[in-house]
Chains A and B, each alone.
With several copies, the nearest count.
Chain A
Amino acid sequence: MGMNTQGRPTTPDAVTSAGNEAHTFTGNRGLDHEEALIFESGSLAKTGVDLPEPKSAETRLGGLARKGPIGLPGLTEPETMRHYVRLSQRNYAIDTGLYPLGSCTMKHNPRLNEKMARLPGFGDIHPLQPQQTVQGALQLMQMLSAYLLELTGMKAVALSPKAGAHGELCGMLAIRAAHDAAGSKRNIVLVPESAHGTNPATAAFMGYTVRSIPAREDGTVAAAAVREALGPDVAAIMLTNPNTCGLFEPEVVEIAKAVHEAGAYFYCDGANFNAIVGKVRPGELGVDAMHINLHKTFSTPHGGGGPGSGPVVLSDALAKYAPVPFVVRDGDGLRLVEDAGDAEAQGQAPFGRLTAFHGQMGMFVRALTYMMSHGADGMRQASEDAVLAANYVRAALRDLFSQPFGDQPCMHEVLFDDRFLKDTGVTTLDFAKAMIDEGYHPMTVYFPLVVHGAMLIEPTESESKDSLDLFIATLRDLAEAAKRGDVDRFKQAPRLAPRRRLDETRAARQPKLRWQPDTARKEAAE
């Protein structure tokens, strides 16, 4: 069995018992259907659209018309529908079950949000149509900004970042611009070991050198450690708070102070904002920049990997460096400031532009719908419930599972390590796969990297007590089974999913990244 450095197995063991005894002629299993690729089932002549013949065949393509086929198969509409419906049925989703993926905040995605985003007045407007025809859209952006500023206690917000990592880039560029304006050439960014990969990647992407800060015994960062690492070359610290171990950084205020005293800035990764909305204002902790994942905290759907939206709130010190575009009041109306010249005329010094247009408007509508629906009271309650749920899971499992940093309250997610599996022969990955058979999506595993065999559980506020209780009972049953030596239940898992364990090593060693006619045929013959 191959393993990576976090102890995560990458190649499945050979299967000794079939997941499911009954074999079928079609390969289908009742309601679960095997589905070919469109490249195998479609044809170049088939189409699922009816379009009129163009009125004229005259071309003005400068001689650059395509010659020969593209090779794109089509399917008629009924075939397309069935293909994607069947494929969808092979996914787990929040709507189908508890999705305790730590750091991802898989909360309920209200359908009202979807409906609002599809109002023609929001969904069917062009980013470059005349501004007097999109005043409602600009108003929505302003209202969203006002909510975000009120919730974070910050000074300004840049709406255009397209996801969390893009937000990190935005915040760090603002910091860079501020240093630059001050004539400083600092080149180091402090990042705690437990940080998400996007933090060091963002810093490096901008040419910064990453200096790692170790965590304390209790999973948090000591102000002393930060102070020690600070120096005239340090541009910023990127600190996640609540951190990726599910803990609120108790010395965050001292850390902020130390950072500021050293002439650096405090970038806060706000991925875990869901723990503290309406409870704590990051601005009051000394944060200079923080991204907010609207696709986590504010319920815009993950969509199988995106789109997200990562607005960045900025402190007084950084506000003027916010990128274009941004919305300003202009007489009776609102106006987008789209270029540096215009921005400078407004007294701003934008560090530049992050994307072609104004950000993820579709996500803004959804997030604002969420905020208006919850209201101040609902958002506070949501955070409290999220924290309550995580601690409930923690309390109910603490006797069987191992908490890496001792028995202390957590925020909205609870972290376990794999010590409780010691000598059972069951790994964190095995444990995760066994959860699949029981109808659960596994928690985040092997992250954060600071603990061995990490299991990071974030139930969110969207689960009922019954749901949490069944989840707890199942995890207990699994833990007991592992301790009892029922190793097969784990090693063979998943048996009941559409696929058993997939060979990731093979995928990486012999990459097949697209369909190829020959390969596919050869395989079919195998």
Chain B
Amino acid sequence: MRYLPLEQAEREAMLARIGVPAVDSLFAGVPADKLLKELPNLPRTKGELEVERELSNMAARNVAAGSVPFFVGAGAYRHHVPATVDHLIQRSEFLTAYTPYQPEISQGTLQTLFEFQTQVALLTGMEVANASMYDGSTACGEAVLMAHRLTRRKKAVVSGGLHPHYRSVVETLSHWGGSHVVALAPDPTGTEDIISQIDDETSCVVVQYPSVFGTVRDLAPIAEAAHAKGALLVAVVTEIVSLGLLKPPGEMGADIVAAEGQSIGNGLNFGGPYVGLFATREKFVRQMPGRIAGETVDAEGRRGYVLTLSTREQHIRREKATSNICTNSGLCALAFTIHMTLLGEAGLTRLARINHANAVSLADALAKIGGVEVVTPAYFNEFTIRIPGDAQKTIDALARKGVMGGVPVSRLASGRGEVRDLIIVASTEINTDEDRAAYVKALQEVL
């Protein structure tokens, strides 16, 4: 087998050196009746050519986003990632390193994490950030638990604009961890009254910005109301590119920002791996979950970086840790950092403006179709439309015409009749005028 360097004669020499007759002697700890002789139900070794052929056939059964006019968002976005990013993250020294436990020979990973943390803090308008979480949804779940620890309260008030899957993650953790969630009804327009839900038992308010429906609303009044009751504001961002154009949550009083960073540097990948961004106030850092890189000096006084504040973490603190997270999303964070470095302030802000302009022009075009209404008053690169008909059926019909028209709200929030006619539509820099025209034409045809 091409991945196994030991040759048969070497195996035998090694067994002899160990002093056992056969490799199964080394499995002596295994109850004899449990030791398998073979694995009859699985195929045998295959060469690259054969494996590649089989998997390519499987891949060909999927419709790649890049091959059609594509407007699907709702938590994952198709952006153009420069070729440099994917090249760099595949470098052996980044790709095949472990977590930087030995800092002297891990400065590459550590310095990029330090850059990543700084970028995330700047972008969210927060003081500190960690070295990544699994994804936006688990970052959101951890943010709520962190708020509980900080406030010693156990109730989270969750906006109806939070991605329903994120809400489910929060609910799952809360349900089994013994805390409560007050979840508001789906709120496409950002007009829910969340402030009145905040009380003295509230540990945090969780608001998505822009919301899953694309809606942008001011977080400052919510933050104020929360702070007045001793609660924290957890701001959730699933489209991080939006912060190139929008006021950052940190400026509006957010205490924790939990975000999905996929849009920068990372592909769609059918949902993962992505990269969770997690930022907070400096004073809360010892309750922050996840790894953190910090600056220090070496024995010769030269600047260097290490993983630090690890007394928060499971490998040191075990059951007293702030989280059980260990492996995080390092390589996706690296991709984020490289892409963000390529963009810089100038590139990111322009990218955000292009996204917004594309969404505005698509919204205008769709709104001209009879019976179609754009329900989102203010938005970044994503908005919600109401159509005269069933959203899921319409999206499927569009797909048959070769247009990926968005996400039916009913797919995310099933069982809620009131959202049956809503579609969440995203438009990024990848969409051309022809893409938009194709969408309009196809939608007219299927309605």
Contact = CB atoms under 8 A, between A and B. Distances in A.
Interface string A92-121: 111110010100101011111011111111
Interface string A272-313: 000010111100110000000101000001111111110000
Interface stretch (B195-203, B224-232, B331-339, B438-446): B331-339
Interface stretch (A224-232, A346-354, A420-428, A473-481): A346-354
A225 B143 CA distance: 38
Interface residues of B, number: 215
A101 B100 CA distance: 11
A88 B88 contact: yes
A137 interface: yes
A66 B251 CA distance: 9
Contact of B325 (A74, A163, A515): A163
Contacts of A402: none
Contact of B318 (A70, A197, A304, A309): A197
A201 to B, nearest CB: 4
B6 A130 contact: no
Interface in B1-41: 1-7, 10-11, 13-15, 17-20, 23, 25-31, 34-36, 38-41
Given A306-B327, A502-B306, A507-B306, A375 B319 contact: no
B69 interface: no
A215 interface: no
B105 A375 contact: no
A22 interface: no
B258 to A, nearest CB: 12
A511 B298 contact: no
Given A35-B111, A124-B65, A112 B4 contact: no
B317 to A, nearest CB: 7
A400 interface: no
A202 B324 contact: yes
Contacts of B31: 250, 252-253, 285
Interface residues of A, number: 226
Interface in B56-100: 56-67, 70, 72, 74-76, 78, 82-84, 86-100
Contacts of B302: 499-500
B330 interface: yes
A338 B408 CA distance: 13
A436 B113 CA distance: 22
B326 A163 contact: yes
Interface string B263-306: 00001111111110000000001000001111111111011111
A376 B261 CA distance: 36
A358 B87 CA distance: 26
Contacts of A358: 270-272
B151 interface: no
Interface in A52-104: 52-67, 69-81, 83-85, 87-96, 99, 101, 104
Q: 7 closest Cβ contacts across the A-B interface?
A: A74-B344, A357-B271, A121-B59, A62-B378, A303-B331, A352-B172, A136-B61
Given A72-B348, A121-B62, A204-B321, 8 more contacts: A49-B343, A73-B344, A90-B93, A95-B96, A136-B62, A201-B318, A498-B105, A514-B117
17 contacts: A62-B218, A64-B218, A91-B105, A122-B59, A137-B58, A197-B314, A198-B314, A295-B327, A355-B137, A356-B165, A388-B23, A391-B14, A464-B10, A465-B5, A467-B5, A504-B103, A514-B118
